[in-house]
Amino acid sequence: MKKLLLMLAFSAITVAMWAQSDVMTATLQHGNTTSVFKGASALTQAHNAAVDGDVITLSDGTFTATNITKSVTIYGAGFEKNTETGTAITTINGNVYIGVANAILSDVKLEGLYFTANVYAANISNSTTAQLKNFTMKKCCVVSDLLFNSNVENVNILQCKLNSIKGTKTVIANGLLVANCYIVNKVFIFSTQSNVLLDHSIIGSYYNNGSSGADEMNYSAFTWTNCMLLGGGGYSSPRSTGKNCVVKNCVSSGWSTDIGVTYENCYTVNPGSLFADATNASYTENRTFELIAPETYVGTDGTPVGPSGGLGWNKVPATPVVKSLDLEVNGNTLNVTYEAEVRQ
């Protein structure tokens, strides 16, 4: 952990050194070696130079999207600008594919990034063989969709804002956790062999069981805990091969009568009326999603339902903030004195 913090701090210092020129930078940390790439293609350059286990730290600004085919960690400055927390916006412009054809890519972590298009996880050039393991997306925004086209294992989507999460009826998600997220639409279509948990999240439409086609009816039996379900639809239908969803300590204005669904300790109330910071459940940058009566709407873990409970609604990435930086050249030696605060 200490080594990682030192690596991040050094990356932040390097980014700060270039910040005066207002040029986007990607800092690649490989062991004790640091390389800096500049410009819109900096992320691509850094990824091309990286090996498994390296860390790439991006400044704010807009970077051209690149396919992620290595076991790397990529930190950005955030997906929203906030002067109080010191966050800025690191934009990845274009579709992003994560995976390697005919192989399992593991240990990829993305944090503090704003994606303008789709993120295709476990998918490279529409391959169905690019499996993904130990993947984490944290404190990111995906304007379009997060899509899984191949099997995944141990995937954590945490404190993100997403349009929707979508698999296919043949994709097995073994340990997919979606926690403390704001999902505009829905999470849907995974193999019936999947293990999917949605926790402490706001979900716009928990499922559309309309007449849009048989494929939408083939999805995993999800477990929903401590969520706020805003939209219509249902969890399963007679046409679905993935019934038997479990819904615990969730909030909705109405519940479906789907076959095989188990409801436990759920609250029938309009979720939009529960918040202390607004009279609706719409997303805005300054929302905290704190509840008016957190002691009334309690989740399975003893914290309030919705994003304010559990991990909490925290959008600040772990990228360090450089508080002070002093550079002194002594012959061929560059002496650096700095103070960096690592955010949690």
Q: What pLDDT is attached to residue 341?
A: 54
Which single residue is written with the structure tokens 């704003």?
Answer: 114
3-state secondary structure of 273: helix
- In the block, which residue shows the tokens 């605060």? 341
The H or E element that residue 10 is part of is: helix 2-19
For the chain, the structural domain boundaries read 1-144+317-344, 160-313
| Segment 186-232, tens digit of pLDDT | 887 788 788 899 999 999 875 544 444 444 444 566 888 999 988 75
Q: Tell me the average pLDDT across 56-72.
A: 96
Residues 159 and 87: beta-carbon distance below 8 Å: no
Rounded mean pLDDT of the chain? Answer: 83
* Token reading at 69: 């085919």
What is the percent of the chain with per-residue pLDDT over 90, rounded to a whole number?
A: 56
Maximum Cα–Cα distance across the chain: 77
The C-alpha atoms of residue 177 and residue 180 are separated, in whole angstroms, by 10
Please list, in sequence order, all residues whose beta carbon lies within 8 angstroms of the beta carbon of residue 326, skipping any fewer than 6 positions away: 336, 337, 338
Q: How many CB atoms lie within 10 A of CB 31?
A: 10
pTM: 0.86
> Minimal CA–CA distance to 153: which of 121, 126, 124?
121
